[in-house]
Amino acid sequence: MSLQDKINKLGQLKTDLYKKDFLLTWEKSKEDLKAILEVAEILKEMRDNNISPSVFDSGLSISNFRDNSTRTRFSFASASNLLGCAVQDLDEQKSQIAHGETVRETANMISFLSDFIGIRDDMYLGEGNKYMREVGEALDEGFAEGVLPERPGIVNLQCDQDHPTQSMADLMHLQKEFGSLENLKGKKIVMSWAYSPSYGKPLSVPQGIIGLMSRYGMDIELAYPEGYELIPEIVDIAKKNSQESGGSFKISHNMEEAMKDADIVYPKSWAPFHIMQQRTELLKNSDTEGLKALEQTCLANNAKYKDWEYDEAKMKLTKNQDALYMHCLPADISGVSCKEGEVNGDVFEKYRIKTYLEAGFKPYIIAAMMFTNKFEKPNKVLDNILKRDRKRVGL
């Protein structure tokens, strides 16, 4: 299909993305999600063919990372640059936030000439997504009162509930690997806990995967040792999605059993829901000693499940002994990045390049979220970009 055909096809979708924040995939319709994927694919093809998709002559994208990041931080910067926006990082330690500046005030002060705000806030259970919505409400007021010339769109770069830019990039990867979204129906994907020599990893990646993939008729198996549950309400959303899409949803507590006949595997460590609740309270209270004690307890508990490593024996249980391995990265790689971890070094090496390709879709997904937020008829804008035929590099 030509670029023009893809743009024309995009125009047939009915979406509700214009001037709407992208915070949770399960708040978006299937048409919305399809539009994000199609815009991402068009933007990628344009850049691959040296067509500049820049649509901003000026403007800022504010990068607000309240937790560490490599892939998502650079993906947000790349996406902003692709569309023509400069990026300004909000370092809360260097801002007046450290002196008690309110969320309402900060949101307006950073947004005078801003088009987008990307936020990562996954440290506090029950707080990250709430914070993003508080920023959104402050921006609504600033725009309504004439403080801001326009209302910047917010992109969730990971919160306590979901990691939509990751799960959507994963979905784009699956679409490429299996040929279409329709071909995902009936495929078995195992979202499995895996051993890690660290603790406190967010719940948002596994929750994002089950919350999104359950909408495409896939057979989902969520595997974890007893006691490593996710947020119950989000598991319920995944179960409901599976029922509506004609797929299935199963929870198991045996990694080997779960891997049998899997088409796709996603072994990834996370901290149990109840532990994240305790950790959040300790963080709020700045209880350093309590955090240290909790960490030691959790690491000792993790160590009981070192056999929850994705290795060659488990890989041989999967469909054709070669299920597609996925990971948000960085993976805890046994014998490489740690002594014992989520995945055996030889197995990871077999799929390493594919995980890089998986990660490579994220800048385009973020750019698509921005693009559809800014333009009511993205197909018309993309059509104009194609017609102007401006080179990204060279004359």
Nearest 5°: the CA angle 213, 214, 216 is: 70
Q: Which of 183-192, 196-205, 241-250, 377-386 has the lowest mean pLDDT?
A: 196-205
The domain ranges of the chain are: 3-162+362-388, 166-359
Q: Which tokens hold the place of 169?
A: 């990039």
Same fold, 3-162+362-388 and 166-359: yes
Q: If pLDDT is split at 50, 70 and 90, which confidence band does 159 have?
A: very high
Q: What's the count of helices (H) and strands (E) in the chain, helices before strands?
A: 15, 11
Determine the Cα–Cα distance for residues 245 and 295; give it in Å rounded to an integer: 39
Nearest 5°: the CA angle 231, 157, 374 is: 125
For range 308-337, the mean pLDDT: 98
Query: Considering only CA atoms, which of 69, 37, 59, 247 is closest in space to residue 159?
Result: 69
Which DSSP string do the residues of 81-111 spell out, in sequence order? HHHT-EEEE--TTTSGGGGT--HHHHHHHT-
E strand or H helix that includes residue 175 = helix 164-178
pLDDT computed for residue 91 by the predictor: 84
CA distances from 81 to 55, 67, 224, 366, 393 (A): 10, 22, 39, 11, 14
Side by side, the strands of the sheet bearing 188-192 are 248-252, 219-223, 188-192, 264-267, 324-325
CATH topology of domain 3-162+362-388: Rossmann fold (3.40.50)
Query: Considering only CA atoms, which of 106, 171, 169 is closest in space to residue 142?
Result: 106
CB count, 10 Å around CB of 382? 26
CATH of 166-359, one of 3.40.50.1370, 3.90.1640.30, 3.90.1150.10, 3.40.50.300: 3.40.50.1370
Q: Are 305 and 202 in contact (CB under 8 A)?
A: no
pLDDT computed for residue 99 by the predictor: 65
The model's pLDDT over 188-207, given as tens digits with 9 standing for 90+, comes to 999 999 999 998 899 999 99
pLDDT computed for residue 162 by the predictor: 98
Query: Considering only CA atoms, which of 20, 278, 280 is closest in space to residue 164?
Result: 20
Model's pTM, two decimal places? 0.97
